[in-house]
Amino acid sequence: MQPSHSNVPRRSFRDRGTNAICRVAVFGLVILVIALTAPTVAAADPGGQLVAAFAITGPAFSPTNVVTLQGTKDAGGSVTVLGSTQPLCTVASDANTTWQCDPVGIPNGNDIPITAEQDLNGALTSTSTTIDVLGAPTIDGAPGYLTTGLVSGTAFAGTTVTTTVNTSTPGCTTVATGDGYWSCSLNLGSGSYVVQATQSRADLGNGASSSSSGSLDIIVDRDAPASPVITAPKAGRRVLASTIVFQGTGESGGTVDVYIDRSPVCSSSVSHGAWACNYRGPPNGTHSMLAVQRDAAGNYSAPSPAMTIYFGPKAGTAPPVRPPANTEPPSQTPTPTPSIPPPSPVPPGTPPPSGVPSTWGTPTGFGSGLPSIAETVTRGNWLMAPLLAIAFILLVALPLRLMANALRGRIRKPAMHFLGRNQAADPERDDAVPVNPWVAGAVPLAIAAAIIIISGGIDDEVRYLRLSAAVVLGLGILNVVGVAIPARLAARWQGVDGRLRFLPIMLLAALLAGLLSRWTGIEPPVVAGVVLGIGFARDMPARPRAVVNLVEVGSVTALAILAWLGHSLLGPAAGFWASTLAETLATIALAGLGSAVILLLPIAGLPGRAILEWSLPAWLGSMAVASVIASGIILGGRNATFPVIGSLVVAAAFAALSLAVWGWLRFVEPSPADRYTGT
């Protein structure tokens, strides 16, 4: 039976082929879409929401060293965070799409690398970023820290540390050193305060500040303690023991330093108001002793009154001799050996004992008051020195020049010729008849050496013979190396003929300076020792004369500075050769600086007059340099007591006298023509 035919017409082969191709294309497109979207679908959370990419979201800057790191991840993934060298934290696998580390410690720094690694079913992915970290600085000290106002601590190198007082009051600001140390002084009065500190640096967090440090309670004490009291040994006593015990009273909690001839010998803390320290092997002879106290905050007291004590046996007194062993029969009683009575106390002000209680190598104390480089800085000499230099120029040098001009021709200059003809000197010439410079300089140099030695005080002991040789050697070097050789070379350089000559006014200045130092007890003493100069004919042009004189003064100043630096580096000296070297360097330094200032005075035939007549700026500059350096050294070390106020009063009185003399002769006294006519 034939099947029935449907009424639906059959499609052609062409139609059936086209539809098949379309169906295949659509099916392939669906498969491609599913393949591309499969990772995203697989990464969907249970609610079907897609997550952000795996990343570190912050922070970019942390003002503390304890940092909380965070970011995004895939659900089911675990995260490990690494620093520059070691793991920082780990986040276990969970269904969250964000992660966060517990706070971790990260040191201060710029662009610190942070790397996060994700493990998702064995598939590893990673991401990196950088972070700036600047935590709070630290402040040294425990609560109740006692200070003069100085605070310090540690910080990141190169940061600007800013302190605040009592939460809101600005304190002080400083920059941390390369090793992370900072310190600054708070301008506060005595009292209790609370201090905090922050730090900042331009390349960290765009200059953002760190968090504040912890608060520190401090006690500021700016009140200097009272001078300590020395109770033993008494002033004027003689000490024979090889070890001397110093005792006294002071402020509890402080420290007392004992000085012999201005050199520290021992220190002791003060407990219950008393202190004591030992000094072994004091050198025999007469010595000056004083003590200085510093409290727990670091404030220094004024020195105690200086007192004189004597070490070693009295001159001519034989030391006790141990009696020989007893050789007599036991039945006889040995003859007792007479005991030597103890030396009687020497009252203050009594001249030191005669004899030779010291050796060739015992220090004399000459130059002990010459400060070291560090002492001039810590004592603040270079802040005071310019003021003293200005005062010297305005109150001494210029008024002296004014009075000298007013008195010119009124005081006849005495003729002084060593080993030369006793003929009248021409007032219009400063080139006296030359003699052998070595012969002309030997006698005044010896006189200047004697003045310097006497200005510091001497005893009839062999060590002062060594001191005499050292002073003569120092003055010889100063006059030959500092004056003769440079002046001759400068004269040849300028093409002029100059002769070395003796300067009587310098010997007079040395005598006055020595007497002043002896009378006032200034340490270091003010002395002068240059007695030679170079003279020219009056018709010599001003410029070459001034240039040669500038070289002369400059070489003396430079030699004195070098000697001072050498003396500072040498330090305390003991023994013959070390003491000789120290005393020679001290002579060159002290006499050189004193002479440089005097040579620049614009009077008589001194170099300062020729320099001033040629150029006022040159004279002012050279005088300022020499007087500033001399003032910085003459002010002395930490315990020096240079009479600044007294010196200014004397200088002001001299300036007033000079102005009065000049004014009288200029405006009041009649001129010679008026006296002749009787008007």
DSSP string, 35-81: HHHHHHHHT--TTS---PPSEEEE-SEESSSEE--EEE--TT-EEEE
What pLDDT, on the 0 to 100 scale, is given for residue 41?
Answer: 40
Choose the weakest-confidence range: 151-160, 498-507, 551-560.
Answer: 498-507
Task: Give the Cα separation of 117 and 73 in Å (integer).
Answer: 10
Name the average pLDDT for the chain. 79
pLDDT tens column, 419-455: 444 444 444 444 444 555 566 667 888 888 888 887 7
CA distances from 438 to 147, 185, 331, 470, 534 (A): 60, 57, 77, 19, 13
Pairing of strands 216-220, 145-147: parallel
Residue 624 has pLDDT above 90, yes or no: yes
pLDDT tens column, 50-63: 445 799 887 889 99
What pLDDT, on the 0 to 100 scale, is given for residue 127?
Answer: 92
Amino acid at 389: A
Task: Give the Cα separation of 630 and 632 in Å (integer).
Answer: 6
Common-topology check for domains 55-133 and 229-311: yes
Residue 45 has pLDDT above 60, yes or no: no
User: Of 32, 100, 24, whose CA–CA distance to 69 is shortest?
Assistant: 100
What pLDDT, on the 0 to 100 scale, is given for residue 665?
Answer: 83
Are the beta carbons of 294 and 269 closer than 8 angstroms?
Answer: no
Number of H helices, E strands in the chain: 14, 27
Q: Is the pTM of this model over 0.85?
A: no
Bigger pLDDT: 26 vs 316:
26
The ranges assigned to domains in the chain are 55-133, 145-220, 229-311, 373-410+430-661
What pLDDT, on the 0 to 100 scale, is given for residue 627?
Answer: 92
Name the CATH topology of 145-220.
Immunoglobulin-like (2.60.40)
Are the beta carbons of 228 and 292 closer than 8 angstroms?
Answer: yes
CA distances from 648 to 359, 395, 429, 571, 651 (A): 41, 8, 36, 32, 5
pLDDT tens column, 297-317: 888 999 999 888 888 776 544
For residue 199 the two structure tokens come to: 């730090």
The average pLDDT across 638-655 equals 81
pLDDT tens column, 468-478: 899 999 999 99
pLDDT tens column, 68-98: 999 999 999 999 998 876 788 999 999 999 9
CA angle 129, 134, 139 (to 5 degrees): 160
What pLDDT, on the 0 to 100 scale, is given for residue 584?
Answer: 92
State the helix-helix crossing angle for 398-407 and 644-663, rounded to 10 degrees: 30
pLDDT tens column, 190-238: 899 999 999 999 999 888 899 999 999 999 998 889 999 998 888 888 8
What pLDDT, on the 0 to 100 scale, is given for residue 181?
Answer: 94
Are the beta carbons of 42 and 74 closer than 8 angstroms?
Answer: no
Choose the weakest-confidence range: 197-211, 267-281, 369-383, 481-495.
Answer: 369-383
Bigger pLDDT: 104 vs 347:
104
Choose the weakest-confidence range: 43-57, 437-451, 546-560, 602-616.
Answer: 43-57
CATH number for the segment(s) 229-311: 2.60.40.10
Residues in the chain, how many?
679
Task: Give the Cα separation of 337 and 321 in Å (integer).
Answer: 10
State the helix-helix crossing angle for 576-599 and 504-520, rounded to 10 degrees: 120
Bigger pLDDT: 605 vs 320:
605
Percent of the chain with pLDDT over 90: 31
Count the Cβ atoms, other than its own, within 10 Å of residue 535. 18
CATH number for the segment(s) 55-133: 2.60.40.2470
What pLDDT, on the 0 to 100 scale, is given for residue 671?
Answer: 57
Residue 672 has pLDDT above 60, yes or no: no
The average pLDDT across 121-141 equals 92
Alpha helices in 310-461 (DSSP H): 373-378, 381-392, 398-407, 437-455
The average pLDDT across 327-337 equals 39
What pLDDT, on the 0 to 100 scale, is given for residue 578?
Answer: 84
Count the Cβ atoms, other than its own, within 10 Å of residue 147. 22
What pLDDT, on the 0 to 100 scale, is given for residue 422?
Answer: 44
Which residues fall within 8 angstroms of residue 643, CB to CB, at 6 or more apart?
520, 522
